[in-house]
Amino acid sequence: MDENFVCEYCNNKDKRYFGIKNGKYYCRRCIEFSHEQVDKSYQINKDAVELSLNYPLSEKQKNISNKVLNALIEKKNVLISAVTGAGKTELIYESFEYFLKRGLKVGFATPRKDVVIDLLPRFEQAFNKLKIVGIYQNHTKEMLGDIIVLTTHQLCHFKNYFDLLVLDEIDAFPYAGDFVLNNFFYNSVKGNYVMLSATCNKKDIDNIRKDNGVVFELNERYHKHDLIVPIFKYGSFHTRLMKIILILKRYNKENKPCFVFCSTIYLCERVFSYLKLFVKDGNVVNSKACMRDVIIEDFKKGKYKYLVTTSILERGVTVKNLQVMVFDADSKLYDKDSLIQISGRVGRKIDSYDGEVTFFGNVKTEAITNCIDRINYVNKNKNL
């Protein structure tokens, strides 16, 4: 048997993950993923590449967008650290256009399925003549297109494929800290990669500096208004419920949609069972709910006035005029980053930059204070 066996898909060398079949080692760490590879001979439709944006980029965005493109031409990797709602996705359109015009393969990966569904129409709008494919769980029939938007799990089909691969939300579950997914990502990059994040830590920055990379920062939202600073309110379970019901009724009158975040699925169901008695037109969304795509779609259309949800909607979702409440912000499951992401859901559109973020809890934990401090800091230093 080969003593120096290394898994060709996930680069695993740890012997505890090896199995023996017919006298040969095989890797069991990435065995849940299919190893079928896509056809690499796909030709990109170069003539149809045309970037059409409905709105112009802000000056700072243009500046960074140019810098990113230049870095990529110099064959460097890029990390963009920008606040929530800064328009991170728009920053890479220019680079996409440059690569596609030369017939190179580009892709956009993110850990969350909901983000993929959310991004597809945005790409279709920007590159309206190209074929854009979304690949995520239970949606894998069509694998080839000019622009591929996919979850990090589906990168297993694209070994050594992309000339430019963008990874959004690098600190999100399940990508962050997952050995197999991380290696899938690095293995599927043939050329360079761009990482996007609103809440990246020092480790990511160090890693990318080591790996021939540059870091760009953008501390200003697209519409140049401040990030919304969360308000913290004390209360026991029932007082919290009372307060939430009052606030929801006010939002209803003002016709504003609202998310109520809960830390666990159980709590989610329990809170909704109370809320639905007092406020009409709501629903629950969590990872176990069937038809979750349909519910989110309906919410965006305005069928529901509020959604009680777990952290699945904490990232990458853009709804106009949205307000946010967190039922148990003092829960151990919320760290600083996820709280920043949650408060970043509010005021993302140019015509509705204002909003409210309310955290409820019994104690003001370190994560909450850190989150509020960080948002204040970013607001102060946005012109840097």
Judged by CB, which is closer to another protein: 29, or 315? 29
Contact 31, 198 (CB under 8 A): no
> Measured from the CB of residue 34, what is the shortest distance to another protein in angstroms?
8
Judged by CB, which is closer to another protein: 23, or 56? 23
> Measured from the CB of residue 282, what is the shortest distance to another protein in angstroms?
29
> Measured from the CB of residue 184, what is the shortest distance to another protein in angstroms?
16
Judged by CB, which is closer to another protein: 28, or 364? 28
> Measured from the CB of residue 18, what is the shortest distance to another protein in angstroms?
9
CA distance 67 to 249: 46
> Measured from the CB of residue 17, what is the shortest distance to another protein in angstroms?
6
Contact 343, 378 (CB under 8 A): no
> Measured from the CB of residue 20, what is the shortest distance to another protein in angstroms?
8
Judged by CB, which is closer to another protein: 16, or 210? 16
> Measured from the CB of residue 31, what is the shortest distance to another protein in angstroms?
5
Judged by CB, which is closer to another protein: 20, or 384? 20
Judged by CB, which is closer to another protein: 21, or 301? 21
Judged by CB, which is closer to another protein: 25, or 334? 25
Q: Which residues bind another protein (CB under 8 A)?
A: 16-17, 19-22, 28-29, 31-32
- Cis, peptide link before residue 174, omega less than 30° from 0: yes
Which tokens sit at 55?
A: 């709105």
> Measured from the CB of residue 133, what is the shortest distance to another protein in angstroms?
25
> Measured from the CB of residue 374, what is the shortest distance to another protein in angstroms?
35
Q: Any residues with CB less than 8 A from the CB of 38 and at least 6 apart, and which?
A: 143, 144, 157, 158, 161
Judged by CB, which is closer to another protein: 29, or 88? 29
Judged by CB, which is closer to another protein: 34, or 239? 34
Which tokens sit at 59?
A: 């000056």
Q: Which helix (H) or strand (E) holds 109?
A: strand 106-110
Helix/strand/coil (H, E, C) string of the chain? CCCCCCCCCCCCCCHHHEEEECCEEEECCCCCCCCCCCCCCCCCCHHHCCCCCCCCCCHHHHHHHHHHHHHHHCCCEEEEEECCCCCHHHHCHHHHHHHHHCCCCEEEEECCHHHHHHHHHHHHHHCCCCCEEEEECCECCCCCCCEEEEEHHHHHHCCCCEEEEEECCCCCCCCCCCHHHHHHHHHHEEEEEEEEECCCCHHHHHHHHHCCEEEEEECCCCCCCCCCCCEEEECCHHHHHHHHHHHHHHHHHHCCCEEEECCCHHHHHHHHHHHHHHCCCEEEECCCCCCHHHHHHHHHHCCCCEEEECHHHCCCCCCCCCEEEECCCCCCCCCHHHHHHHHCCCCCECCECCCCEEEEECCCCHHHHHHHHHHHHHHHCCCC
Judged by CB, which is closer to another protein: 28, or 139? 28
> Measured from the CB of residue 180, what is the shortest distance to another protein in angstroms?
12
